[in-house]
A and B are shown apart, each in its own frame.
Chain A
Amino acid sequence: GQQLNQSPQSMFIQEGEDVSMNCTSSSIFNTWLWYKQDPGEGPVLLIALYKAGELTSNGRLTAQFGITRKDSFLNISASIPSDVGIYFCAGYNFNKFYFGSGTKLNVKP
């Protein structure tokens, strides 16, 4: 299957710091997605990317679709306590979505 390598697995940061996480794949994807999941809830879509090289922002979040179509990154600027959660990347091809293993973000007030 198509594997996504997401890093880092976890992060402990101070409130106000910037955060960066990324996903890489051996396969090309048509769409890259980034989700956030809070404990006991379903993942919520943060950003969707459709074109190679595309850079998209959603408030303090910025994500990019890699030029090779095999990678993507997510940046969070000026982190706040409510950013705590697990962030997942996902790639889409041919009716199926492939997920990274997640980045668990902890923010110290």
Chain B
Amino acid sequence: SQTIHQWPATLVQPVGSPLSLECTVEGTSNPNLYWYRQAAGRGLQLLFYSVGIGQISSEVPQNLSASRPQDRQFILSSKKLLLSDSGFYLCAWRDRRYPSENIQYFGAGTRLSVL
């Protein structure tokens, strides 16, 4: 079966510090991978998605970047965090295989607080 791992679960970082959040998927190959941010009580904002190694699409211009160094690894980074980067970050993957194609599965999320 497929699983998605996202860590850390919570993170408190000072303004101006770097960020690295990691997400890995097991039990599948060549998935689409996604990073979302969710403000408290709000919907999901798509930040980045990737259809393959080294292929990143950015949806929202901001202080963040993403990389996909391996097929099932997706990393969200920042060189210098801003207060506005605080939020709940979710990694997700899309199953391309029939009959489950077009379904997206989420990780447990990372609660980031920038102080």
Interface size on A, residues (CB 8 A): 23
A75-106 toward B: CB 8 Å interface, digit per residue (1/0)? 00000000000001010100111011110100
List of B residues within 8 angstroms of A109 by Cβ? none
Report whether over half of chain A's contact residues are helix, strand or loop; otherwise say mixed: strand
B88-101 toward A: CB 8 Å interface, digit per residue (1/0)? 10101010000010
Does B86 sit within 8 A of A, measured CB to CB? Answer: no
* Cβ–Cβ contact B34 & A97, under 8 A: yes
Q: Which of A11-19, A39-47, A56-64, A65-73 lies on the face that meets chain B?
A: A39-47
Does A30 sit within 8 A of B, measured CB to CB? Answer: yes
Q: Which residues of chain B (57-115) have a CB below 8 Å from chain A?
A: 88, 90, 92, 94, 100, 102-109, 111
Within the complex, the shortest CB–CB distance from B30 to chain A, in Å, comes to 13
Interface size on B, residues (CB 8 A): 24
A18-47 toward B: CB 8 Å interface, digit per residue (1/0)? 000000000000110101000011111100
* Cβ–Cβ contact B43 & A95, under 8 A: no
Please tell me which one of the listed residues B42, B51, B111 contacts residue A40 in the complex, with CB atoms under 8 A apart: B111
Does B35 sit within 8 A of A, measured CB to CB? Answer: no
* Cβ–Cβ contact A96 & B103, under 8 A: no
Does B44 sit within 8 A of A, measured CB to CB? Answer: yes
Within the complex, the shortest CB–CB distance from B106 to chain A, in Å, comes to 4
Question: How far, in whole Å, are A97 and B92 apart by their CA atoms in the complex?
Answer: 11
Within the complex, the shortest CB–CB distance from A69 to chain B, in Å, comes to 13
List of B residues within 8 angstroms of A35 by Cβ? 106
Residues of B within 8 A of A (CB): 6, 32, 34, 41-44, 46, 49, 51, 88, 90, 92, 94, 100, 102-109, 111
Beyond A43-B106, A44-B106, A48-B102, 6 extra complex contacts between A and B, CB < 8 Å: A33-B103, A40-B109, A43-B44, A48-B103, A95-B49, A95-B51
